[in-house]
Structure formats: structure tokens, C-alpha cells
């Protein structure tokens, strides 16, 4: 069976829902195909206690508020997924769930999508299959008797085998998971690489507010290859700054970057103090920029000098462990919070760079009628976030409605 539609959107996460809403309001006939459920990744690719990294007033589409949350609250992940489902159903968006696109090609000027339920032909295609598609697990540890999983498969402390846990990677996911585990009474080791760690709040405002004021959400991608910055932030427990000294105070043993593992011994780079110092410098630079902005704009915000007080470094940073015997440390589980990569193997079009990323300008590819939305740094730093995807989707839907690329 072949179905024909003006515009096909592939993926029904927040980026696909946003694209559909804008296509609808611009009068473009379209269909969204989602292989699972709407916003599936918020439900089944995230741990149970995850809340949004930004408060509810910020992490949402501009035209719909969270109805059951205080604007300053951090939405639990199920509430985020429900929000997108409700948004789609309130607008009667044409989203067909349970249909996977297994191949996308082009015949003449028509796109041909082979799906699990037949073929769809379209003049335009918007690929909205997510910024985080395939878990990355470096295969450095080969040791029997240790459970290894990616952060996208972690659920809660009780679901892990008894024993200590090594969390590799200290971005938002790794840092939050390590904190949850140590609070649950687990012995936790956390491998910390280079990172940014902005303050959760400063002078009465959340950091997402400051990023907006300082123009950081709108930043274009920096030098190619340096786009990825590991950022440790958390909305958990009401939201607090991710300070690794505080995690060490709770009992987490901080480690440097994980290297190779030989004979059950994990080798760690001697870079922990440098990574912590870089994170501190980033933290302090945000305070400096915020102060400068407040002064320049004459904002009357309460001073917060105590935010600049950094506590002494814990022993695990000043005398770091450089080799960890996993069995002797009682480690039963390794959680790889080491990120994701793209996976566009199902697209048969010559538009990819050697690293697998599509060639595009702000989401517009060199193939007429083919667009991407929701990718990190698609048009700016905010592009993979909820409201950023909304803004990119609006612009791309406008191009499609005008029949231009």
C-alpha cells in the first residue's frame, strides 16, 4: 500500500510534535510517524526519578503551560511525556504511533519512506528522530560478574544488584544517578571528565533565566568538533547546583577519566583536580557574567556573595585513585553515563558527514524538501531543548509552507 502526503514528519517526540503543530497552523497537510508512543524516550529511556533540568515555566512549548505544576517546579519525566501527549491530542495532530520508518530514499523529486505498515511518498520530509539516538558504551571493561548498563537503561537503585556502583561520566545524567545511588545508601564511585557546572540559581534567578539574559541559548555552534560540552545540572530534590565537593561530602568517591581496564583494574587519568578546577572556573564565570549583566542593566537583584565560596577539595581529589581494583572495591555494577550518538543508517541519501551527522544549514539540507529538527546545535545551543525545537520547527514549517528550502 502506498500513501501520498505533502509532508512527512518522522519521529513523534517533542520535535516531531512541535513540527506537526506548526505545519498544522500554517495549513500544510502532513503526517507524523512514530514507531513507539508519543514522547516515548521521556518514558522508557530515562530513569524513574528524572525531572526536567529546567523549571516548568521554561521547559515547555511557549503556547502551553504545565497545568498541574507550579512554574518553579521541575516536571517529573512522566509529566513531561503526558504534556506532549495532551498537547498533540488537544490539537488533534495527525500523529500515527506504532509505525517505524525503516528506509528513506528519493525517486526523482519524491521522497519514499518504507515503513512497517507500507510505503509513504511525500514532497517534503522532516526528520525528528531525536538528538540522542544510540547509547554509547565504550567497551573498556571486560570482567565477569559485573553488571554493565547505559544510563538510558538505569531505572532506580533497587533495580541494581547489591554492591558498590561505578558511574562513568559526570554530565547531568551521571551526576544525578550517582547522587541518587549514594542517597540510597550505595557505595558510589564517579568518574568525572571535563565539564561545565553552572549554578542552579544565582541572585534569585534560575540559570536557564540567566542563559537567556546572557544570550547563551541563542549561541551558534562554536568551532566544528567542539560543540559538545558536558554540562552537569540537576532539577532533582527541588534543584541544586551540581557541586562535586558536595557529592564527595555525601560519600561519593570521585575519580578521574576512566581509561583502560586490565586484569580487573580500571586505570584512571590523573586529571580529576584539573576537571574539577575547570568546572569551578565555568561556575564562577557564570556568576561574573551575571553580575556584569545585572550592573549594566541596573537590575535590582539580591546580592549573593556566599555563592562564590568554594569549600576545600575532598581527599579523593587531592590524592586521587589512579588504579581501581573493581572486585576489591566491591563494584557490582558499572553505569555508563557516556552519552549517545546519531544513527541514520536507515536514510539512503548522500547527506552525511563522515561522523554520521547530516550536512545542513539550520536544519535545511542540500536535498530540496529534506529537513532535520531537534538535533544539538541545529541552529543554536537551544535546538535540542523543548522550546528550542519549537522555535526551529516554526521556522522550518514556514519554509515548507512557502514551498522553499
Ligand X SMILES: Cc1cc2nc3c(=O)[nH]c(=O)nc-3n(C[C@H](O)[C@H](O)[C@H](O)COP(=O)(O)OP(=O)(O)OC[C@H]3O[C@@H](n4cnc5c(N)ncnc54)[C@H](O)[C@@H]3O)c2cc1C
Taking the complex as a whole, the smallest distance from the CB of residue 97 to ligand X amounts, in Å, to: 9
Minimum CB distance to ligand X smaller for 12 or for 369:
12
Minimum CB distance to ligand X smaller for 5 or for 15:
15
Neighbours of 328 (CB within 10 A): 9
Closest residue to ligand X, Cβ-based? 13
Taking the complex as a whole, the smallest distance from the CB of residue 124 to ligand X amounts, in Å, to: 16
Taking the complex as a whole, the smallest distance from the CB of residue 151 to ligand X amounts, in Å, to: 7
Taking the complex as a whole, the smallest distance from the CB of residue 396 to ligand X amounts, in Å, to: 13
Taking the complex as a whole, the smallest distance from the CB of residue 107 to ligand X amounts, in Å, to: 19
Binding site for ligand X (CB under 6 A): 10-16, 33-36, 40-42, 46, 50, 52-54, 59, 100-101, 128-132, 173, 346, 374, 384-386, 389
Minimum CB distance to ligand X smaller for 41 or for 381:
41
Minimum CB distance to ligand X smaller for 85 or for 317:
85
Minimum CB distance to ligand X smaller for 87 or for 132:
132
Contacts of 30 (CB under 8 A, 6+ apart): 5, 6, 7, 8, 9, 20, 23, 24, 94
Minimum CB distance to ligand X smaller for 132 or for 283:
132
Minimum CB distance to ligand X smaller for 160 or for 324:
160
Minimum CB distance to ligand X smaller for 100 or for 280:
100
What gap in Å lies between CA 359 and CA 372, rounded to an integer? 10
Burial of 355 (0-12, 13-18, 19+ CB in 10 A): exposed
Taking the complex as a whole, the smallest distance from the CB of residue 74 to ligand X amounts, in Å, to: 8
Tell me the three-class secondary structure of the chain, residue by residue. Answer: CEEEEEEEEECCCHHHHHHHHHHHHCCCCEEEEECCCCCHHHHHCCCCCCECCCCCCCCCCCCCCCCCCCCCCCCEHHHHHHHHHHHHHHCCCCEEECCCEEEEEEECCEEEEEECCEEEEEEEEEECCCCCCEECCCCCCCCCCCEEEEHHHCCCHHHCCCCEEEEECCCHHHHHHHHHHHHCCCCEEEECCCCECCCCEECCEEHHHHHHHCCCCCCCCCCCCCCCCCECCCCHHHCCCCCHHHHHHHCCEEECCEEEEECCEEEECCCHHHHHHHHHHHHHHHHHHHHHHHHHHCCCCCCCHHHHCCCCCCHHHHCCCCEEECCCCCEEEEEECCCEECCCCCECCCCECCCCCECCECCECCCCCEEECCCCCCCCHHHHCHHHHHHHHHHHHHHHHCCCC
Taking the complex as a whole, the smallest distance from the CB of residue 120 to ligand X amounts, in Å, to: 11
Minimum CB distance to ligand X smaller for 293 or for 346:
346
Taking the complex as a whole, the smallest distance from the CB of residue 390 to ligand X amounts, in Å, to: 10
Q: What are phi and psi of 317, to 5 degrees?
A: -90, -40
Taking the complex as a whole, the smallest distance from the CB of residue 322 to ligand X amounts, in Å, to: 30
Taking the complex as a whole, the smallest distance from the CB of residue 293 to ligand X amounts, in Å, to: 23
Unique residue bearing C-alpha cell 571493561? 141
Minimum CB distance to ligand X smaller for 272 or for 389:
389
Task: Record the cell numbers describing residue 38, joined without a space.
Answer: 508519543
Minimum CB distance to ligand X smaller for 288 or for 343:
343
Taking the complex as a whole, the smallest distance from the CB of residue 87 to ligand X amounts, in Å, to: 12
What gap in Å lies between CA 281 and CA 286, rounded to an integer? 9
Amino acid at each position: 500500500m502506498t500513501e501520498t502526503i505533502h509532508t512527512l514528519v518522522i519521529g513523534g517526540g517533542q520535535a516531531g510534535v512541535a513540527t506537526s503543530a506548526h505545519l498544522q497552523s500554517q495549513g500544510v497537510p502532513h503526517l507524523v510517524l512514530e514507531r513507539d508512543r508519543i514522547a516515548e524516550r521521556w518514558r522508557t529511556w530515562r530513569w524513574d526519578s528524572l525531572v526536567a533540568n529546567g523549571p516548568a515555566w521554561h521547559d515547555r512549548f511557549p503556547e502551553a503551560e504545565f497545568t498541574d505544576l507550579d512554574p518553579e517546579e521541575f516536571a517529573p519525566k512522566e509529566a513531561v511525556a503526558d504534556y506532549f501527549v495532551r498537547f498533540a491530542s488537544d490539537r488533534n495532530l495527525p500523529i500515527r504511533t506504532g509505525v517505524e520508518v525503516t528506509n528513506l530514499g528519493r525517486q526523482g523529486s519524491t521522497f519514499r519512506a518504507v515503513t512497517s505498515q507500507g510505503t509513504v511518498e511525500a514532497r517534503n520530509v522532516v526528520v525528528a528522530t531525536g538528538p540522542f539516538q544510540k547509547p554509547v558504551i565504550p567497551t573498556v571493561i571486560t570482567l565477569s560478574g559485573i553488571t554493565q548498563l547505559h544510563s538510558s537503561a538505569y531505572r532506580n537503585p533497587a533495580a541494581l544488584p547489591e554492591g558498590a556502583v561505578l558511574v562513568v561520566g559526570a554530565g547531568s545524567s551521571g551526576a544525578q544517578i550517582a547522587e541518587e545511588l549514594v542517597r540510597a545508601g550505595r557505595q558510589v564511585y564517579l568518574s568525572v571528565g571535563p565539564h561545565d557546572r553552572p549554578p542552579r540559581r544565582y541572585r534569585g534567578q534560575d540559570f536557564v533565566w540567566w542563559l537567556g539574559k546572557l544570550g547563551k541559548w541563542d549561541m551558534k555552534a562554536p568551532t566544528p568538533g567542539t560543540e559538545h560540552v558536558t554540562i552537569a545540572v540537576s532539577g532533582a530534590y527541588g534543584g541544586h547546583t551540581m557541586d562535586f565537593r558536595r557529592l564527595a561530602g555525601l560519600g561519593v568517591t570521585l575519580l578521574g577519566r576512566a581509561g583502560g581496564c586490565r586484569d580487573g583494574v580500571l586505570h584512571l587519568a590523573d586529571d580529576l583536580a584539573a576537571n574539577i578546577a575547570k568546572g569551578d572556573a565555568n561556575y564562577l564565570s557564570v556568576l561574573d557574567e551575571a553580575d556584569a549583566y545585572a550592573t549594566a542593566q541596573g537590575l535590582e537583584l539580591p546580592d549573593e556573595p556566599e555563592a562564590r565560596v568554594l569549600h576545600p577539595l575532598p581527599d579523593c581529589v587531592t590524592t586521587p585513585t589512579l588504579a581501581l581494583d573493581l572486585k576489591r572495591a566491591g563494584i557490582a555494577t558499572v553505569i555508563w553515563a557516556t552519552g549517545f550518538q546519531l544513527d541514520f543508517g536507515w536514510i539512503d541519501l548522500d547527506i552525511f558527514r563522515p561522523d554520521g551527522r547530516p550536512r545542513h544549514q539550520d536544519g535545511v539540507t542540500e536535498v530540496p524538501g529534506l529537513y532535520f529538527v531537534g538535533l544539538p546545535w541545529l541552529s543554536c545551543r537551544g535546538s535540542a531543548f523543548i522550546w528550542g525545537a519549537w522555535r526551529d520547527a516554526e521556522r522550518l514549517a514556514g519554509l515548507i509552507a512557502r514551498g522553499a528550502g
